[in-house]
Chain A
Amino acid sequence: MVRYKRFAVGVLLLITGLLAVADSSVVVRDAWVREAPPGAPVLAAYFTLENPGSKADKLVAVRGADFDQIEIHATEIRAGVARMIALDALPIPPYALIKLAPGGYHLMLHHPRRALAAGMSVKLELRFESGTRLTVVAPVRRAEAGTAHHH
């Protein structure tokens, strides 16, 4: 009996382990909000999305109580002209690393409801097509030379 029990536990552990790998959902890292001039009507948030699993997912919406509205955007420079493109969703293919960074993908944060300065932080809820919801705490930071680059 003891032997069977041990075996059953082992099998259960194995199954849950496999399920965890198959189910591994998108991870958010290094979220931050760029400090904006006082009274600026819009701010930008950046982070890295990592998909460790074999299933594609999509970032479909972001909510945050500190802003009137949050949109997923891409800055595109075509023929020397910078355009902001509003995206319905940001695809995250299997095993992909998607970087939101100055000059590229970003969240557009409309009309902050309180004055935000470096040292403060905001809560953002990221909603994915898979149903996953992740809440991240993004510190507000002053952009320095090192963070203004985009490659």
Chain B
Amino acid sequence: MVTRKTLISATLVAALGVILVLGYLAGRSFREPARAISIAGMTVLEPASPLPEFRLHDQSNQLFDRARLQGKWSLLFFGYTHCPDICPTTLVVMRDVQKIAGGKEQGIQYIFVSVDPDRDNAATLGRYLPYFHPEFIGATGGQGELMRLTRALGAYYESGEARNGNYEVHHSAAIFLIDPEVRLRALFAGPHEAAHLAQGLQRLKGG
């Protein structure tokens, strides 16, 4: 009888303990992102999601891989140069973010990854990107490498059907924020506002 009573009490105490711990954890995990997500369109990943190895090349034909993201905050957007509306619109927003939050000197880099490697290469990207900002990095690579990167970021792209000798490339509208440990830290859904992006970046970056 005594042992049974003890057993019941012990079970009750243990259950209470579990409930308290779960409650504390739930409360904490709800509170943490809630503080950061107060910026419109921004989703913060808790925990941040590490990126795999990938091999692209930039507009100088230099290897653009995981190591190029290390030690910096990176804002990354997928697009293509045959895109008249949303890509230049987004790059103008990124240029405005650069004006507010800073660039290289502040440890921030801005990257445009072309998901149209059949038409975009180092030369086309080298002509295209400096128009928006001389520091902006343009990169592209083979479909396999692009897939590896987009998949890791939860991004999407797909070439549409050819019409009149032209085709569109559908692609994620989001801007991805990668932290200095090369982890996806946050993403911003479109339509993009430079002030919101800069604020979100500065809040996570600190300082």
**Do the two shown chains form a genuine complex with each other?**
yes
Decide if B88 touches A34 in the complex (CB within 8 Å). Answer: yes
Q: How large is the interface on B (under 10, 10 to 19, 20 to 34, 35 or more residues)?
A: 35 or more
A103 with B172: in contact, given A37-B128, A149-B193 (CB under 8 Å)? no
A19 on interface, CB distance cutoff 8 Å: no
Among B14-22, B29-37, B89-97, B178-186, the stretch that binds chain A is B89-97
Q: Does A119 contact B (CB under 8 A)?
A: no
Count of chain A to chain B residue pairs whose CB atoms are closer than 8 Å in the complex: 97
Are the C-beta atoms of B83 and A42 separated by less than 8 Å?
A: yes
Q: Which residue of A lies closest to B166 (CB)?
A: A110
Q: Chain B residues with Cβ under 8 A from A24's Cβ?
A: none
State whether the Cβ of B194 lies closer than 8 Å to any Cβ in chain A. yes
Top 4 nearest A-B pairs by Cβ distance?
A: A37-B131, A44-B84, A82-B173, A42-B84
By a CB distance below 8 angstroms, the chain B residues around A108 are: 84-85
Q: Are A80 and B189 in contact (CB under 8 A)?
A: yes
**Least CB separation from B157: chain A residue:** A81
In the bound complex, do residue A44 and residue B170 qualify as a contact, i.e. CB atoms below 8 Å apart? no
Assembly CA distance A39 to B171 (angstroms): 22
Which of B96, B124, B156 contacts A80 (CB under 8 A)?
Answer: B156
- Is B132 in the interface zone, CB < 8 Å from A? yes
| Beyond A80-B172, A84-B168, 13 additional pairs, beta carbon < 8 A | A36-B84, A37-B81, A39-B127, A39-B128, A42-B82, A73-B84, A77-B173, A82-B171, A82-B173, A106-B84, A106-B85, A143-B88, A148-B96
Give the complex CA separation of A144 and B99 in angstroms: 12
Per-residue CB proximity of A24-49 to B under 8 Å, as 1/0? 00000000001011111111100000
- Bound together, the chains give a CA A34 to CA B85 distance in angstroms of 9
Q: Which chain A positions have C-beta within 8 A of B93?
A: 148
B191 touches A150 (CB 8 A): yes
Given known pairs A42-B82, A108-B84, the reply for A148 and B89 (CB within 8 Å) is yes
Residues of B within 8 A of A82 (CB): 86, 170-173, 190
Q: Which of B188-206 contact A (CB under 8 A)?
A: 189-191, 193-194
Contact B83 A84 (CB under 8 A): yes
Instruction: Out of A40, A84, A143, name the residue touching B128 (CB < 8 Å).
Output: A40
A52 within 8 A of B: no
Q: Does A121 contact B (CB under 8 A)?
A: no
Residue of B nearest to A42 (CB): B84
Distance A109 CA – B82 CA, assembled complex (angstroms): 10
Query: Is there contact, CB below 8 Å, between A103 and B190?
Result: yes
25 residue pairs of the A-B complex, CB under 8 angstroms, read A36-B84, A36-B88, A37-B127, A37-B130, A37-B131, A38-B127, A41-B81, A41-B119, A42-B82, A73-B84, A80-B174, A82-B171, A83-B160, A84-B85, A84-B168, A86-B163, A103-B85, A103-B86, A143-B89, A143-B92, A145-B96, A145-B194, A148-B92, A148-B194, A149-B191
Does A69 interact with chain B (Cβ within 8 Å)? Answer: yes
